[in-house]
Amino acid sequence: MFLALKRKWILIVLCTLLVVASVVVYFTAIRPTFMPKAVHTIVIDAGHGGKDGGALGHDITESELNLSYAKTLEKICQQYGFKVVQTREDMNGLYDPFAPNKKKSEMEKRRKIINKNNPDVVVSIHMNSFPSSEARGAQVYYAAGSESGESLADCVQKTLHNNIEHAKNTAKVGDFYVLNVSPCASILVECGFLSNPQEEVLLQEAEYRENFCYHLFCGILMFFNYS
Ligand SMILES: [Zn+2]
């Protein structure tokens, strides 16, 4: 009787071990063959917000447009399986409302979000403005000395130049806080000029925005050698 009971327990323990071993083998040996490619994390940084509207158009602020471009880019990135983190989800500023220096507080918040999420790429979205209304066209910037930033900027600028009218053909070095503090490939995209009346109208069109963000995303894909 005692022996039979002992055998029964040994059998239960052996069966349990077999199940545990099977699960371990499935998740370590078999599962990776069904896994998609590594998920890339992208931080999308909509510039300005809150009291800081950025550049002003005739009937729209830069901060508003930045957010709508950031949301469109987010949607496209998610469709392709990217993990997306937005620095700004709405029209509120990122600064602490009680901070004596709101710009400093806002920039510090952006830096913290970037560092916390350990992204593969950071894309900061802005709209340009210039005293002359003639100036137009998308321009991509990267931080001086950042090889990965330059490579990402080249890919995105090239893709925009080939697909978006008036987009510049060469990426430039830019001294921007978000680029300087990002530990990964980072770019700042000035999508167009609100000071150019035709471009201001175009930048507000949904179809133009979708197309622009799609090609911006294609540039990011090119950077990851997916194309
Ligand atoms: Zn801006």
The CA distances from residue 12 to 21, 23, 169, in Å, are 14, 17, 69
- Counting DSSP H helices and E strands in the chain, the numbers are 8, 6
For residues 75 and 144, membership in a common domain is answered with yes
Q: Residue type at 216? A: L
Q: Is the pLDDT of residue 27 over 60?
A: no
Q: What is the dihedral of CA 76, 81, 82, 83, to 10 degrees?
A: 110
For residues 93 and 31, membership in a common domain is answered with no
Indicate the pLDDT class of residue 16, thresholds 50, 70 and 90: confident
Q: Is the pLDDT of residue 186 over 70?
A: yes
- List, in sequence order, every residue forming a beta bridge with 43; answer none if it has no partner: 85, 122
Q: Is the pLDDT of residue 10 over 90?
A: no
Could you tell me the distance, in angstroms and rounded to a whole number, from the CA of residue 5 to the centre of ligand 1?
A: 76
Q: How many domains does the chain have?
A: 2
For residues 216 and 153, membership in a common domain is answered with yes
For residues 83 and 182, membership in a common domain is answered with yes
Model pTM score = 0.82
Could you tell me the distance, in angstroms and rounded to a whole number, from the CA of residue 28 to the centre of ligand 1?
A: 46
Domain that holds residue 21: 1-35
Q: What are the φ/ψ torsions at residue 32 (nearest 5 degrees)?
A: -55, -30
For residues 82 and 186, membership in a common domain is answered with yes
Indicate the pLDDT class of residue 9, thresholds 50, 70 and 90: confident
Q: What is the mean pLDDT of residues 28-49?
A: 72
Could you tell me the distance, in angstroms and rounded to a whole number, from the CA of residue 101 to the centre of ligand 1?
A: 18
For residues 108 and 172, membership in a common domain is answered with yes
For residues 57 and 114, membership in a common domain is answered with yes
Could you tell me the distance, in angstroms and rounded to a whole number, from the CA of residue 41 to the centre of ligand 1?
A: 23
Indicate the pLDDT class of residue 34, thresholds 50, 70 and 90: very low
User: For the domain that residue 152 is a member of, what is the CATH number?
Assistant: 3.40.630.40
For residues 219 and 80, is the Cβ–Cβ distance under 8 A? no
For residues 68 and 116, membership in a common domain is answered with yes
Could you tell me the distance, in angstroms and rounded to a whole number, from the CA of residue 88 to the centre of ligand 1?
A: 14
For residues 18 and 92, membership in a common domain is answered with no
For residues 113 and 219, membership in a common domain is answered with yes
For residues 72 and 175, membership in a common domain is answered with yes
Please state, in angstroms and rounded to a whole number, the distance separating the CA atoms of residues 198 and 225.
Answer: 34
For residues 61 and 28, membership in a common domain is answered with no
Task: Give the pLDDT score at 33.
Answer: 41
Ion ligand 1 nearby residues (CB, 5 A): 47, 54, 126
Could you tell me the distance, in angstroms and rounded to a whole number, from the CA of residue 24 to the centre of ligand 1?
A: 50
For residues 182 and 122, is the Cβ–Cβ distance under 8 A? yes
